[in-house]
Amino acid sequence: MTDDHEAVRELLAAWAFGALDPADEKTVPPHLAECESCAAEAELLRETVRLLEGPPRNAPAAPDEVLLSLALRARSAAPRVAEHVAPYSAAVAGLKALLPELEGHWTTPVVHDWDVHATVAHLLAADEHLASLLGVGARVPPSRIAQGTRWEDAWNRRTADVIAHEHGRTPEETVADWSAQAAELLGTPEARDAQLAARAVTLMGLRLPVADHFLVRGFETWIHTDDIGRALGIAVPPPPQEHLHQLIRLAVRVLGLALGTTAPPVLFSVTGGEEWVLGSADEPVRAELAVDPVDFCLLVGGRYAPEAVPRGATGDAAAVRNVLETAASLAWL
């Protein structure tokens, strides 16, 4: 079994709970000693089990947000990958850390008209687009989408088809396919090699390097993990600081392209971080806008209305509003 990667992965939960059969006790530990990715996932699961078992007797119970914050610290135990894939790898580990809390809550409404089960199915569908481009086989029967269909319509149709298909299966089956597809994505050559990931491909109407599309996958996985956490009343921590800055820089770059070079220039900054001039480079800056890093990501992710996102702003109110509304218009999640 030490060479049977997938068979060992199926036993990791039992290993984390200390419930392996005697025969497996002789084969799983040697595999973990040889396989870095399985060892990292095993440690993540064991850390989560320790947290879910709760504090020692007579110790005060930790609030949900503290437990989950500690559990998601195990994101650092995710397999070592190239820098451009680290946010996606960590986001996948974060959702896996939340999975034990989903038992009995799969029909809880989350976002749009999706319940928890459908939200995971959506991630299965969303990851599939990049996975397919990188040679990873689909796990759901293909959709009948006419050639030339606008990407938004094709994206929505595929999500609807995958959700309908997965609602005919158990949540555990959906999770298993999502997890396996994510593992295959993280195992592609492009996930390890920045030079291979520099190749530009078109997804969601955007032609970007594969590396940036991995960042998009990390962004969306975190957003929907946060959606599920909010639906269940569990606080999901934001991405680690270094990952958050990677996501923000990509979002700002796309926002700059969407605004174009004729929009009234605005000095935009994330609180405590970088700043950029968005819009025309030929005019004096008309306004300054500062937004918290997480709030900016939630705005771009469609979780804040432009007028509701907390911010600091001075100068031309119309120019500020244009930046906020354009940022919100980028949301497809």
Taking the mean position of all CA atoms in its chain, how far away is CA 200? Answer: 21
Neighbouring-strand partners of residue 209: 200
Three-class DSSP category at 312 = strand
- Asked if residue 32 and residue 18 are part of one domain, the reply reads yes
- Asked if residue 216 and residue 97 are part of one domain, the reply reads yes
Query: 241-297: per-residue pLDDT in tens?
Result: 889 999 999 999 999 999 999 999 999 999 888 899 999 999 999 999 999 999 999
pTM across the whole model: 0.77
Range of the domain at 141: 81-237
- Asked if residue 230 and residue 175 are part of one domain, the reply reads yes
What's the CA gap between 109 and 45, in Å, rounded?
26
Specify the pLDDT at position 78: 47
Q: How many other CB atoms are found less than 10 A from the CB of residue 257? A: 11
Q: Is residue 122 situated within a structural domain?
A: yes
- The mean per-residue pLDDT over the stretch 305-325 comes to 96
- Asked if residue 45 and residue 28 are part of one domain, the reply reads yes
The CATH code of the domain that includes 126 is 1.20.120.450
Read off the pLDDT band of 158 (50, 70, 90): very high
Neighbouring-strand partners of residue 270: 291
- Asked if residue 231 and residue 261 are part of one domain, the reply reads no
Specify the pLDDT at position 57: 39
Closest listed residue to residue 99, CA positions, set 116, 77, 85: 116
- Asked if residue 231 and residue 93 are part of one domain, the reply reads yes
Structurally, how many domains does the chain consist of? 3
- Percent of the chain predicted with pLDDT > 70: 82
- Asked if residue 212 and residue 131 are part of one domain, the reply reads yes
- Asked if residue 95 and residue 45 are part of one domain, the reply reads no
Q: Is residue 124 situated within a structural domain?
A: yes
Specify the pLDDT at position 82: 84
Q: Is residue 243 situated within a structural domain?
A: no
What's the CA gap between 296 and 310, in Å, rounded?
9
Neighbouring-strand partners of residue 208: 201
Q: Give the domain-ending residue among 237, 266, 291.
A: 237
* Tokens encoding 27: 């084969």
